[in-house]
Structure 1
Amino acid sequence: MRVIDFKDASCRHCYKCVRNCEVKAISVQNEQAHIMKDHCINCGHCLEVCPQNAKTFASDMDRVKRYLKQGVKTIISIAPSYLGVLEYDKPGQIVDALKQLGFYEVRETAEGAALVTREYWKLLKDGQMDNIITTCCPSVNDLIEKYYPSLVPMMAPVVSPMIAHGRLIKDIYGPDVKVVFLGPCIAKKEEAIGDERVQGAIDAILTFEEIVKWWKAKGIDVHQCQNLPMGNPSPKVNQLYPISGGIIKSVRASSVEDNYYKIHIDGLKACMELFEELEKGGIQNCFFEVNVCEGGCIKGPASDKWQQSLVRAKMDLEDQVAYQEEAQGIEGRDIELQKTFKDRRVHDRTPSDTEMEQILHAMGKYTKEDELNCGACGYPTCRDKATAVYQKKAEIGMCLPYAVAQAESMSNIVMDVTPSMIMIVDKDMRIRECNKKAREMLGVSREEALERYIFEFLDDKDIAEVLNTRQQIVHKKLNLETMKLTVVESIIYIESLESVLVTYQDITREEKAKEQHYNLKMETVEMAQKVIDKQMMVAQEIAGLLGETTAETKVTLSKLRDSILFEEED
């Protein structure tokens, strides 16, 4: 199952998700981005930055609605960040709005946080760990297990508040009850469904964004709902878990004495910097509260696009929490809260020097100077990009300078092999660009051409007309007297440049061929007429001769006839 993925039809090759993915868990194949599940930590940052809304989140909405339709007892575990994210007049209105959807009960996940806090107390009091890294954020847990596995021994061996709460609810209401976690976190879904170590505690995940849409579809106005109580005792200070430093405040609310220096770190980059420093060694006796989302869970990716600002959300939450009050009445003696973390490092092959060189050459990088390291592809250096190509995470064409160079190269080739003269002339009649054929006919270099005006070479009457009227001239035949050429002229106005595209297709050879063909036809007609005239003359002469001969023959034969007749009479 992929918690996050991409809609191919919407992905537009911008690579913004690659640039913003710190662990480079996004591969690009056939110009489409895809999530690499074994690399992904489900932080959801790609959802936040995608300008095309091409990402998809695997929703459990249909599953939850099915539970309710079938009459299954379903309980909501709501993340305490709702206090600063959702809109209401009184917190209890959220409870009523959720119950109107059909949920049996609503309890705060902070109830589970209280159990986790007690486990942290024990670790701090025992003092057996050199450093303690909190394990409430599933993205942080994935980050360490996959990319900093040497730090696994520093991870607090405790489940997250969500898992603790799910187990507590099933312990209270029975194993057949369905528990739905409601919050702003996408990574919680992978933790609840995809992590076999904690499966069964949570049956489905809904985000704040999804629940608000559901309320609107059902016509539920939270502001018109009753102010109903939560189904759990007040978790008090543990409601601060969603904001940066909230876990530390919860831990300090106890009377436990310890020798650990406590510091909170939030934001993926800051977490990675911390882990890199911890890998070097030298840091001892620290309790690190870590969260991938800047500002804490209250700024989770499943609410970021529509909630109010982080500052306002943080203020709203803090105003409603009893800071120094430890939770009372929350029992979970039979709840399993231990979790064993492990090395799940990502293994990627690296190219040899020869393979690296081949890929760099394919990217148009032949020297160190060619390696611009612009980062447009999403990788910090050209060599990092080449490594990603070798690992089939990236494609050659993702390199922006390479793509531009290729496009310019192809464009220049097309322009230069075109047998027609092509020029761009601006409103001042200055030549702004010209192809190889135009330079040859004008008898100037490109540098010289770009410093000259078109009227220095050609009659600019038609060009001036198009610049003034913006009405194009297409396929007009004319003679360029200065060049002794016959051409087909086309002039197109380019509004964005306030210039015109001028093309002259040389048809001089064709016109001469037409003239020669015409002359040949006329010569042939003249010769045919002469033959006809001569034939008529000969025919007339023959006719005349035949007439004379016929007359003579008649006279002779008549005489012969008469002589024969007269001899018989005698």
Structure 2
Amino acid sequence: MNVIDFQKANCRNCYKCVRSCSVKAIRIKNEQAQIMNEHCILCGHCLEVCPQNAKTFSSDLDRVKSFLRQGQKTVISIAPSYLGVMKYTHPGQVVTALKQLGFKQIRETAEGAAYVTNAYHRILEEGSMKNVISTCCPSVNDLIEKYFPDLTPYMAPVVSPMVAHGMLIKKQLGMNTKVVFLGPCIAKKEEAELDERTSGWIDAVINFSEAEQWMEEEGIEVKALDPSPMDNPDPKVNRLYPVSSGVMTSVVAKNGKDTYRKLFVDGLDNCIDLFRGMANGELEHCFIEANVCEGGCIKGPAISKMEVSRFKAKLDIEEQIEYVSPDYPEAPPEVDLEKQFYSRVEKEKMPTEEEIRSILRKTGKYSREDELDCGACGYGSCREKAIAVFQEKAELGMCLPYAFDKANSMANTVMEQTPNAILVVDQDMRIMEFNKAAEKMFKQSKSVAVEKYLFELIDHTDFLYVYDTHEPIVHKRVAYEDLGIYTTQTLVYVKEQDAVLGIFEDVTEEENNKKKHYQLQVETVEMAQKVIDKQMMVAQEIAGLLGETTAETKVTLTKLRDSILFEGQEE
């Protein structure tokens, strides 16, 4: 299962998601972005920055509705960040609304956090760990296991409040109880369903936006409802877990007597910076609360579009919380809060220096000076991008300066080398483009032509027709007698530029050859007619001569016959 999915039709090669991904867990293949699950830490930043809304995360909402339709006992574990992001007059109204949707119990995840606080307190009190990093944020856990494996010994071996709460509910109400986590985090889905160390305790994960939309569909007006109490004891200070330093505040409230220095960090880049320092041995004997989301869970990726300021949310939560530790007993023995962390680094083949140089050369980078390191592709340097290409995470065309130069080069080549004249005019018929062939054909330089309107050069009627109708004119013969040229024209409307493109093929030579051929035909006909006339005269003369000779011959032969016939009679 992919927690984050894609709508491929909407992915438009902007690479904004790659640029925003600090761990570079996004592959570009066939010009489409793909999440690499083995590298992703599910911080959700790509969801927040995608301008085309091409990325979505899979939803469990239909599964939850199915639990309720089937009449299964279903309990909500609601993250305390609801106090700062959901719309209500009294927090108990949210409880009433969720019960109207059909949930058996509404319990605060902070109830599980109270048991996690106890576990942290014991670890700090023992003091055996060189450093202690909180493990409530599943994205932080993924970050360390996948990118800073040397720090796994510093990770508090404790499950998150969500998992602890799921364990508690199922142990109390029965393993057949369906537990649904309602919160602001998409990484919780992986923790609940895909991590074999913690799966099985949470049956579905939904977010606040989904819950509010569901209530709206059911016609539930939260602010019009009477408030109801939560179905759990007040977790008091443990409700602070969603805000920066909330974990630390809860642990200190439990018992402030420990020797660890306290440090909290939020924001992915800040976490990476801190962990690099820790990997270099810069910190010792520190209790570190880490959260990938800036400001803590109150600005998780699943609520980023609810238009809630994390500063207001923080104040709203803090004002509703009692800063004392609840009088909770230790977790029941059957609720095992331990979780072991380990390296999940993906070993990747690295290119040789020559392989890197070969890839760089393919994008026009033949020397270090050619490496702009502009970061437009999403990688910090051209070398990093070349390595990503080698590892089939990136494509050559992602280099925008290279793609731009290539496109420009190709466009210029076509424009300047084609034997056809190319003109582009705007809605006012002002000339925008005028290539070399056009300069030759119309005997105008480009610098002069682009200062003119088309009608100052040639008849613009056909161009105006195409602009107004968006109907193309194809292979139309047009003569410019004053210029002594004949053309075949194709005119098309270019929507993206709101302009008309005209391609003129010079057929003057062809037309002149046709004229010469026609003239030759006329002259041949005239000559043939003269020959025919002369031949007719000769024929008539021959016929006349033949007629006189025949008559004379006839008289002579008649006389000869008669002399022969009547020769004896005369004697």
TM normalised by structure 1 equals 0.90
1:311-345 CA distance string (max 9 Å, x none): 222222122111x2211346522211111000111
Instruction: Report the count of equivalent residues.
Output: 560
Whether the 8 Å CA contact 2:434–2:450 is kept in 1: the answer is no
Write out per-residue CA displacement over residues 24-67 of structure 1, whole angstroms, 9 at most, x where no aligned residue. 00000000110001000011111111111111211112221221
Mark the CA change 1:434 to 1:90 in structure 2 (over 3 Å): closer, same or farther: same
Structure 1 residues 431 and 219, CA, compared in 2 at 3 Å: closer, same or farther? closer
Measured against aligned partners, the alpha-carbon deviations of 1:498-541 in whole angstroms (never above 9, x if no partner) come to 99978664334223312321221122112211221122112212
In the alignment, which residue of structure 1 is the partner of 2:325? Answer: 326
Aligned residue for 1:536?
536
Distance 1:326 1:64 in 2: 33
Where do residues 180-199 of structure 1 align in structure 2 (5 Å cutoff)?
Answer: 180-199=180-199
Alignment of 1:164-563 (within 5 A): 164-322=164-322, 324-329=323-328, 332-334=331-333, 335-422=335-422, 434-437=434-437, 453-454=448-449, 462-463=456-457, 466=460, 476-479=478-481, 505-556=505-556, 558-559=558-559
State the partner residue of 2:41.
Answer: 41
Q: Which moved more, 1:420-429 or 1:32-41?
A: 420-429
| Equivalent-residue separation in structure 1 for 2:568 and 2:207 (angstroms) | 145
Contact 1:79 1:182 survives alignment (8 Å):
yes
1:7 paired residue number: 7
- Tell me which amino acid in the other structure corresponds to 1:531: V
Matches of 1:105 and 1:498, distance apart in 2: 60
How far apart in 1 are the matches of 2:549 and 2:459? 79
Give the SS at the match of 1:253.
Answer: helix
- Match of 1:264, SS? strand
Question: Matches of 1:204 and 1:492 in 2, distance apart?
Answer: 55
Aligned pair in 2 of structure 1 residues 443, 521: CA closer, same or farther (>3 Å)? closer
Alpha carbons of structure 1 residues 202 and 424: separation in structure 2 relative to 1, 3 Å: closer
Structure 1 residue identity aligned to 2:327? Q
Counterpart residue number, 2:135: 135
Q: 1:500 to 1:43 in 2, by over 3 A?
A: closer
Contact 1:425 1:454 in 2 (8 A): no
Secondary structure at the counterpart of residue 378 of structure 2 = coil
Tell me the alpha carbon deviations over residues 373-396 of structure 1, each in whole angstroms, 9 at most, x when there is no partner: 111100011111001000000000
Unpaired runs of 5+ residues, structure 1, are: none
Offset of 1:569 from its aligned partner?
A: 7.6
The 3 A distance-change label for structure 1 pair 309 and 494 is same
Task: Report how far residue 442 of structure 1 moved.
Answer: 9.3
**What amino acid maps onto 2:233 in structure 1?**
P
- 1:239-277 residue CA offsets vs partner (Å, 9 max, x unmatched): 111111111111121234101111210000000000001
- TM-score scaled by length of structure 2: 0.90
Moved more, 223-232 or 374-383: 223-232
SS in 2 for 1:453: helix
Does the Cα contact within 8 Å between 2:144 and 2:151 map onto a contact in 1? Answer: yes
Q: Return the offset for 1:566.
A: 5.7
Identity of aligned residues (%): 56
Residue 352 and residue 70 in structure 1: after superposition, are their counterparts in 2 closer, same or farther (change >3 A)? same
**Contact 1:79/1:109, CA 8 A, preserved across alignment:** yes
Kindly provide the amino acid, as one letter, of the partner of residue 448 in structure 2: Y
CA deviation profile, 1:75-114 (whole Å, cap 9, x unmatched): 1101001111111111111112111221111100000000
- Matched residue SS, 1:230: coil
> How do residues 14-25 of structure 1 correspond to structure 2 at under 5 angstroms?
14-25=14-25
Residue pair 1:475, 1:490 contacting (<8 A) in 2 also: no
1:52 maps to 2:37: no
Cα distance between partner residues in 2 of 1:375 and 1:126: 46
Any conservation in 2 of the 1:480–1:487 contact (CA below 8 Å)? no
| Residue of structure 2 equivalent to 1:152 | 152
| Secondary structure at 1:37 match in 2 | coil
Find the aligned partners of 1:76 and 1:502 in 2 and give their Cα distance. 66
Quick check: 1:494–1:500 contact (8 Å CA) kept in 2? Answer: yes
Which letter does structure 2 place at the counterpart of 1:332? A
Larger displacement relative to structure 2 (422-431 or 139-148): 422-431
Mean Cα deviation higher: 36-45 or 340-349: 340-349
Between stretches 21-30 and 118-127, larger displacement belongs to 118-127
Query: Per-residue deviation at 1:435?
Result: 3.6
Per mean C-alpha deviation after superposition, the further-off stretch among 58-67 and 541-550 is 541-550
What root-mean-square deviation, in Å, do the aligned CA atoms of Structure 1 and Structure 2 show? 3.2
Provide the residue aligned with 2:470 in structure 1: none
Assess if the C-alpha contact under 8 Å between 1:77 and 1:181 holds in 2. Answer: yes
Q: SS of the residue aligned with 1:302?
A: helix
2:103 match: 103
Contact 2:131–2:285, Cα closer than 8 Å, also in 1: yes
Question: Partner of 2:67 in structure 1?
Answer: 67
Distance in 2 separating the partners of 1:91 and 1:19? 39
Indicate the SS of the match to 1:115: helix
Between 324-333 and 498-507, the greater mean CA deviation after superposition? 498-507
What is the alpha-carbon distance in structure 2 between the residues aligned to residue 530 and residue 374 of structure 1?
Answer: 82
Question: Contact 2:240 / 2:246 at 8 angstroms: preserved in 1?
Answer: yes
